[in-house]
Amino acid sequence: MTNTSNWARIGAPIVLALLLAGCAGTPGMEDRQIFLPETPKQGEMQPATQREHQRILATYGGAYDDPRLEALIGKTVDKLVAASERPDLKYRVTILNSPAVNAFALPNGQLYISRGLIALANDTSELASVLSHEMAHVIARHAAIREDQVRQAAIVGAVVSDVLSDPNLGALALAKSRLALASFSRAQEFEADGIGVGISARAGYDPFGATRFLTAMGRNAELKPVGANFDPRSLDFLSSHPATPERVRNAQANARQFSAPGAGERDKAEYLAGLDGLIYGEDPSEGFVRGRRFLHPKLGFTFMAPPGFVLDNTAQAVLGIKDGGGQALRLDVVRVPAEQTLPDYLASGWIEGIEPPSIAEFTVNGFPVATATATGERWSFRLYAVRFGSDVYRFIFAAKNKTAEIDRSFRESIGTFRRMSLKESQSAKPLRLKVVTAGAGDTVEKLARRMAIADHPAERLRVLNGLEPGNRVKPGDKIKLVVE
């Protein structure tokens, strides 16, 4: 969560789409192709590309500086380039300081890979499958091919927002405009998978690394909270990747063309050695989640979500959803003029559907707060604005069937908002990966007790280490743990 965010005037019927944006990732590569209006020369950082680069860094928490990982990735890229169809192309790789499992490419060969993706991979062949996939997008000029499609979708979106007064109809029209683009992208993804597997195999890596990593991403996605299907259009129509099982089958078929399972390099020991000490999850400079609690040492505040909520910290906001999807929350921060009262701010029009008689003021742990309710077609909202220094923190709680008990749980959550002590801020440390050697008697369940994760620790340990449900830990195995 960054220091400030700007919201346009939001209608209550569609506010939840923004409230939960980013909660329901697609279980695929999650790569978002960034398209530029011009086609810069390969390897050069043109002004427009530089602007996109800076925007990407701002969105994904900046670059992650780790000389060991940079050297490992650089060596892998060099081998892949030499084995590719275009060994003359130049690539630059940036590690993003983001827990998201993500990778994407700019048309000029600028590649991005998140530390979250690096943490999920278990050997160099899996990393190579991702890098070669993104290189394939560049080689096949997918960005240039889709440029007109993206521009047309943007034009349609502008027309929709300017002309249509019904936000639901507008959302549907915009979703339809992107449907063909998403379908086209699926074809590109399959093509990039095929090209990428070939590059990895020719470079000497195990071509089945793609199969293993796609499987790991699917299992990782299953650990995310479900029930965020408040508007299926926004999830189905805007999906840009095929279903993971389909891609796994395709990757297996591609890999079999080059070798049998087990052939090719995996370099697991070297790869895991490079991961030891890697930050896992959020960087404390952007705040982080510990169970239901969110802490932001840099901004100096903390709060506790209502019982049953699972939180997700993004660059734009803290998002939360309760098991089953019937309740949700969003927290972001804005600048509000000091002379504007919080009740006036709530009634200023930044969100529609406000019920003026519900506006009230009170204090929480010494901080002024204003609250109000708003209603939509299928959701009811409880809003809070908390003035903290020069900023105002906006909490939007949503419920499909809001009762007095649910509303009370929202109020109790706001009651936990407080300033962190200096000691708390200084002691807030990120979670990190620790690579350990399994001993005699170690099991998944025993090792999971050493994980500093409360949410499904045994399942997360299995996914993080590529262990299938029936697999056992053997003495001497190198295992990734998440520790404080």
**Assigned domain for 18 exists:** no
Across 232-255, average pLDDT: 63
Kindly report the average pLDDT of the chain as a whole number. 80
**Assigned domain for 398 exists:** yes
Same domain, yes or no: 270 and 378: no
**Assigned domain for 16 exists:** no
**Assigned domain for 19 exists:** no
The model's pTM is 0.71
CATH of the domain at 438: 3.10.350
Same domain, yes or no: 439 and 453: yes
Same domain, yes or no: 233 and 322: no
Same domain, yes or no: 441 and 342: no
Estimate the crossing angle of helix 268-275 against helix 124-139, to 10 degrees.
Answer: 90
Last residue of a domain, one of 410, 426, 442: 426
What pLDDT does residue 74 have?
A: 94
pLDDT range class, residue 39, cuts 50, 70, 90: very low
Last residue of a domain, one of 236, 260, 276: 276
**Range with top average pLDDT, 75-84, 212-221, 275-284, 346-355:** 75-84
**Assigned domain for 24 exists:** no
CATH of the domain at 288: 3.40.1000.10
Same domain, yes or no: 129 and 173: yes
Does 204 or 171 have the greater pLDDT score? 204
What pLDDT does residue 33 have?
A: 33
What phi and psi, each to the nearest 5 degrees, are found at residue 303?
A: -155, 165
What is the DSSP track for 147-180? HHHHHHHHHHHHHHHHH---HHHHHHHHHHHHHH
Same domain, yes or no: 200 and 343: no
Same domain, yes or no: 104 and 181: yes
What is the spatial distance between Cα 84 and Cα 240, in angstroms, rounded to a whole number? 25
Q: What is the DSSP letter of 205?
A: B
Same domain, yes or no: 144 and 261: yes
**Assigned domain for 187 exists:** yes
Does 7 or 421 have the greater pLDDT score? 421
Same domain, yes or no: 362 and 217: no
**Assigned domain for 143 exists:** yes
Same domain, yes or no: 323 and 396: yes
**Assigned domain for 14 exists:** no
Distances (CA, A) of 195 to 137, 139, 198, 212, 414: 9, 9, 5, 17, 51
Does 413 or 188 have the greater pLDDT score? 413
Say yes or no to pLDDT of 398 above 80: yes
Same domain, yes or no: 257 and 359: no
Same domain, yes or no: 231 and 370: no
Q: For 301-336, how does the pLDDT look when each residue is reduced to its tens digit (9 = 90+)?
A: 999 999 999 888 877 789 999 877 789 999 999 999
**Number of structural domains found in the chain:** 3
Positive or negative torsion for Cα 144, 149, 152, 157: negative
CB atoms within 10 A of CB 263: 14
Say yes or no to pLDDT of 404 above 90: yes
What pLDDT does residue 363 have?
A: 96
Say yes or no to pLDDT of 167 above 50: no
Q: Structural domain of residue 378, as residue ranges?
A: 284-426
Last residue of a domain, one of 407, 426, 445: 426
Q: Which stretch of 57-61, 173-177, 349-353, 375-379 has the lowest confidence by average pLDDT?
A: 173-177
Say yes or no to pLDDT of 161 above 70: no
